[in-house]
Structure 1
C-alpha cells in the first residue's frame, strides 16, 4: 500500500477550500475563508525553568516548511500553566491565560500571522474581578467573556467577567449560589441561551491527581438568559462536566458535555416549557478531556486522556450516540482542533502539569474521512527537543 509523505501531502492539497464552518469557536468569531496556514500552540515549559511560549507551526502543504515550528513567541514569564485561549470576534487578537498565575496576554495575530506579538499583558485580573484561573475565552461582539475556575483566593465561588477587546474590565457575572464551580461557556444566540459548566478551583487543580479532593469538583451546568446574563436553571450531570457544545444547527435546542470524572457524554436539551433536561447518553473510555464537533453536526470527537485514544461518536440521534471510530495518535491525547472542512484534526497531549504522565509531548494530525479517523504518519511536531527543553502543548488555534 502507498505510504509516502507525498501521498499524504496530495490528500492535504486536494482538501476542499471551504473553511467557513470551523467548529467550537464562539458564533461571534469571524471564520476563515480559506484552508489554515498556521497552527498556534499554547505551550508550558515542561520543567517551569524557562518562559512559557506560543509555538507557530506551518500547516500550509504548499510550503517548504510544512509541518515544522517556524516561530516561537516568548511570553516573558514562566510557571503560568498556560492553558486555554480564544480569538476576539474580529479574529485579529488572541486572548490567552495562565491557570496558576491568572495572567492574561492579548496577542496580535493580524499584523504578521506568522509572527504573533504580545500587545498587552493583564497582570491584575484577580484584583479587578475577584476571580482566578481564567479558563474559557469566549468572544462577544467587541468584547471578551471569560469563565474562571475560582475566586481570587483560589477557592470558590467562580464566576465570569467581561472585557473590551483591548483589555478594559467591564463587569463581573456571578454564578448562582448552588453552582459555585466554573469552567466552560457557550452561547446559542438565536435562542438567547448561554450554558456554563464546572471543574475545580486553584486550591485543588494545583495538586497532583492522587492528592486532589474529588469532593471539590462541580457537577452542575447553568442555563442562562444570555442578553440579561441571568441564571435561569441549574442542572446536575456527572462529575466535572467540561466542554459545552451546542448543536450547530440553528433549529436545535440541545447540546452536549463531556464529564471527565464520570467517563461519559451528557445531553442537555430544552423542553417545551422552557426548562432543560440533563441526561447521560454515552459511556466513554477513561477521562474524556476534550469534546469537538464535526461541521455537519453529525459527529462528536472525545479525547480519552486516560486510555490514550480518541473516539468519534455519531450523534445523529442525540439520545443514542453510536461509536463510529477510534484512533490513538499519541499517549494521553487531550486537546483537539478540527478544521472548518471537518477533514483534519490537530491533537496535543498535555492536560495539566499536575496530571500529565506521558513525559513526552507532540502535536499530531488526524485525518477524518468517510470511514473514520486515521493518523497522519508524517506530521509529527516534536516538542521534546527544543532549546529550552521539553514543552507541554495544550490548546490550539488555526489561522
Structure 2
C-alpha cells in the first residue's frame, strides 16, 4: 500500500535531475507489418551494454489485430505529474499507450510486473475514438498533468470529415473523454504537438490529411505545396488557438516540434521535410518574445546530386536525393539537436546552445537511398536514420529506419528490413555509431518509435527549472 503512495522514482522535477538518473536497461520499439499480413508488435530490446544479450530482442508482444500501422506511442504518465496543477501525484510510469494510425485503434500495454514481458491491458476500438472525439488516425501521445493528450491526423470517416486535432484520455481509467480544443481558430491540419507547462502554451505542427499519406506521398500535392507548412500556438489552459506562423508554402511538411526542456527557456525547434523550390530540408527555431511567437529558418541541409538511374521513380526527374528530415530530437540539457535525414542516410548533431544559430557538431552515415552505407559491423542497413530517441543522460542516441509503410516502398523500393542502431555521444559533442549495437527485427517488420525504460528526451515534460 505504501509503495503505491510514493512518487514514481522515474519522475523528476527538472531536466538536470532527470539526467542524473540511472541509465536505461531496456527499450520498447514499435514494429509494423508493412503489408499488414501479420499483426504489429512491440519489441523489448536489451540496451544494457553489460548484458550478454545486449542489442537483441528479449521479447515480442504481438497484437491481436492486423493493419494497425504502429507509428508513435507514449507513456501514460511522466514527470508532468509533479506539476502543482496535477491531481495525480501517485501515478506510475507503467502503461504504454500505442495508437494505430491506420486503424484508429489504441492499445494500452502494461509493463508491470515484468518490464521485459509486457501484456495488453486494454484495447480501445476505433468506433469509440471517433464517436467521442470526431477524430481518427491517432498519432502522438503526451502525458500532461490532467491526463493523456493524443493528437490525430484525420477527422471522422475517411479522415476528411472535419479537421484533425487533439483529444484527451483519462490517465487512470483510459476512458476517451473528448476533443481538447475549445476555440480551434484557423487550424485545419495536424501532426505533432508539445508544450511549456509552466508558461501555459502549446505548439502544434502539420503534415497532411489521410488521403495525402495513407497510400503514399501524393506527388501532385507535394509539388502543389498542399501539405502542411504552418505552426500553431495555443493557450494550454484555455484550450484556445492564439497564433499561426506560416513558414511559407514551399516548406512542405513541418513535422516534429521540440520545445526546450527547461521551462524557463521559451523556444523550440521544428523540422521541415523538404523545400519544394530546391529539395533542401530545414530546421526552424521558434520563440516567444513580447507576448508574441516568432519563427525563423536557422539551419538548412542541401540535397545530394545523384544519377537518375539509381534513384527511385519518384525522384528520377530531380537528379538528386533530398535529405528528407523525418525526425528531430533535443537532448535533455537543451544542448544538442539531432536531425534524422532519412533520404540521404545521415544523422546530424547540432550544437544549439545558441538556439538562433545551430552549429553542426557531428554526423554519421548509414543506409540512404543512393549510398546504402552499411553498419560498422558490415551489416546492410535499409532506409536511413528515422525515429530518434536520446537517453536522459545524453550519452546515447537510438534510431530506427522505417518512416511509413507506403512511403517506405516509394523511396526504398527494395524494402526496409527493420533495424535499430545507436550512436555514442562525445562529452563535447560528436557522435559515433556503436559497432556492437544493431538490432535486426527481420524483413517482415518495419521499426519505428523507441521508448526507453524510465523515460527519454521526447517523453517527459518538466515543471521546474534546472538549478
- Normalising to structure 2: TM-score of the pair? 0.76
Query: Following the alignment from structure 1 to structure 2, what is the Cα–Cα distance between the partners of residues 371 and 148?
Result: 35
**1:182 equivalent in alignment to 2:190:** yes
Native 8 Å contact 1:19 1:341 kept in 2: no
Alignment gaps of 5+ in structure 1: 1-17
**1:333 equivalent in alignment to 2:362:** no
Query: Could you say which residue in structure 2 is the equivalent of 1:270?
Result: 288
Q: 1:360 to 1:21 in 2, by over 3 A?
A: farther
Query: Could you say which residue in structure 1 is the equivalent of 2:417?
Result: 360
Which of these residues, 192, 199, 203, is aligned with residue 211 of structure 2?
Answer: 203
1:226-274 residue CA offsets vs partner (Å, 9 max, x unmatched): 11111111111232111111112332111110011231111111121x1
SS in 2 for 1:228: coil
Query: Following the alignment from structure 1 to structure 2, what is the Cα–Cα distance between the partners of residues 270 and 366?
Result: 33
Query: Could you say which residue in structure 2 is the equivalent of 1:295?
Result: 332
Query: Following the alignment from structure 2 to structure 1, what is the Cα–Cα distance between the partners of residues 168 and 267?
Result: 25
1:321-346 residue CA offsets vs partner (Å, 9 max, x unmatched): 11111112444210011001101111
**1:320 equivalent in alignment to 2:352:** no
Tell me whether 59-68 or 263-272 shows the greater mean CA deviation.
Answer: 59-68
Query: Following the alignment from structure 2 to structure 1, what is the Cα–Cα distance between the partners of residues 432 and 353?
Result: 22
Which of these residues, 380, 395, 407, is aligned with residue 343 of structure 1?
Answer: 395
Query: Following the alignment from structure 1 to structure 2, what is the Cα–Cα distance between the partners of residues 313 and 55?
Result: 30
Query: Could you say which residue in structure 2 is the equivalent of 1:8?
Result: none
SS in 2 for 1:374: strand
Q: 1:84 to 1:192 in 2, by over 3 A?
A: same
- Normalising to structure 1: TM-score of the pair? 0.88
The CA deviation at 1:178 is: 2.2
Query: Could you say which residue in structure 1 is the equivalent of 2:52?
Result: 64
The CA deviation at 1:62 is: 2.7
**1:87 equivalent in alignment to 2:95:** no
Query: Following the alignment from structure 2 to structure 1, what is the Cα–Cα distance between the partners of residues 19 and 261?
Result: 14
**1:395 equivalent in alignment to 2:449:** yes
Query: Could you say which residue in structure 2 is the equivalent of 1:76?
Result: 64
Query: Could you say which residue in structure 2 is the equivalent of 1:218?
Result: 228
Native 8 Å contact 1:236 1:278 kept in 2: no
Task: Give the total of aligned pairs.
Answer: 372
Native 8 Å contact 1:199 1:218 kept in 2: yes
The CA deviation at 1:284 is: 2.3
The CA deviation at 1:22 is: 12
Mapping 1:1-399, distance limit 5 Å: 33-89=21-77, 90-123=92-125, 124=127, 125-153=129-157, 154-155=159-160, 156-165=162-171, 166-174=173-181, 176-209=184-217, 211=219, 213-214=221-222, 215-237=225-247, 238-262=251-275, 263-272=281-290, 274-285=291-302, 286-330=323-367, 331-356=383-408, 357=412, 358-369=415-426, 370-384=428-442, 389-399=443-453
Query: Following the alignment from structure 2 to structure 1, what is the Cα–Cα distance between the partners of residues 41 and 53?
Result: 20
1:175-200 residue CA offsets vs partner (Å, 9 max, x unmatched): 73422111111110121111111111
Q: 1:190 to 1:290 in 2, by over 3 A?
A: same
Q: 1:289 to 1:241 in 2, by over 3 A?
A: same
Query: Could you say which residue in structure 1 is the equivalent of 2:371?
Result: none
1:257-302 residue CA offsets vs partner (Å, 9 max, x unmatched): 0011231111111121x11112111112511111111222111000
SS in 1 for 2:270: strand
Q: 1:209 to 1:22 in 2, by over 3 A?
A: farther
Native 8 Å contact 2:72 2:98 kept in 1: yes
Q: 1:225 to 1:371 in 2, by over 3 A?
A: closer
Query: Following the alignment from structure 1 to structure 2, what is the Cα–Cα distance between the partners of residues 305 and 106?
Result: 29
Q: 1:19 to 1:137 in 2, by over 3 A?
A: closer
